[in-house]
Homo-oligomer: A and B are copies of this chain.
Amino acid sequence: MRLGRVWTPNGPRPVAQDGDRWVVVSDLYDPDRRLLDEWYPVQGAELLAPCEPYVVMGMAHNSGPGDRALAPQAFSKSTRSVVGPGAPVALSGVDGATAVEGELAVVIGRRARRLTIDEVPDVILGWTIGNDVTAVDQIALDDKMTQAKNGDGFTPIGPWIETDLDPSDVEIVVDVDGVTQARSSTAGLAWNVAEQLVYLTQHLTLGPGDVVLTGAPGTTAAARPGQRARVSIAGIGTLENPTV
């Protein structure tokens, strides 16, 4: 199923796709969500970030098999940096070089704490595309990554959530201004999604709408203001955002 959030004359609405319609649902996170008697054409719909996280975590150094030699680590991104498809990423005013990072993003569906591997599937609502925009020169100045990860619009997610996806080997392609800069697969991640959620929930609680950016398996490209960054993930779609 494809879930999301659209902007409507009544404000933002959680929706599920039914053919050429986005149908408003009772609750994005309830497995027994009902389709309500309100819908909007898919054509021309203004899609918002498909969830409203309380917590956004990103996996650090999870870019290739070699990173498995290191203990897993994660950083947080400000929920105020989350934007939807088409929303601007503010790179001007940022100190130093910036990069876009195409990543498979997990959207959590229910409370998750100290999960075992077997419990992981139960807490996942679905999958979306994340662009983990990073002020790369700031990482050397701040090992906590606060300075690198939290600029305005630095966490585009969307365009929607696919509930049915096998995350083990999906292709991720990063384009900048229409030119492919990186192409890889989640199969290249050091720690897989289930291992990441076991690790994270050992240390903190995740809950409905929270997002985990699962790492960039080489899917990184330099970006500067005035470009269009596009991340495509097989089985989900394409997330495009302008840089300003």
Report which of B54, B60, B93, B152 forms a contact with A144, defined as CB distance below 8 A.
Answer: B60
Q: When the two chains form their complex, are residues B71 and A144 in contact, meaning their CB atoms are under 8 A apart?
A: no
Residues of the B chain whose Cβ atoms lie less than 8 Å from the Cβ of A206: 80
A144-B147 in contact given A79-B54, A80-B207 (Cβ < 8 Å): no
Interfacial residues of chain A within 177-194, with CB under 8 A of chain B in the complex: none
Report which of B60, B78, B143, B205 forms a contact with A204, defined as CB distance below 8 A.
Answer: B78
A80-B55 in contact given A75-B144, A203-B150, A203-B151 (Cβ < 8 Å): yes
Residues of the B chain whose Cβ atoms lie less than 8 Å from the Cβ of A71: 141-142
Report which of B54, B75, B81, B113 forms a contact with A146, defined as CB distance below 8 A.
Answer: B75
Can you list 17 residue pairs at the A/B interface with Cβ under 8 Å? A55-B78, A71-B141, A73-B142, A73-B144, A74-B146, A75-B146, A79-B79, A80-B204, A80-B205, A80-B207, A81-B205, A113-B152, A143-B143, A144-B145, A146-B204, A150-B204, A151-B203
What is the interface of chain A, defined by CB distance below 8 A to chain B?
54-55, 57, 60, 71, 73-76, 78-81, 93, 113-114, 138, 141-147, 150-152, 203-207
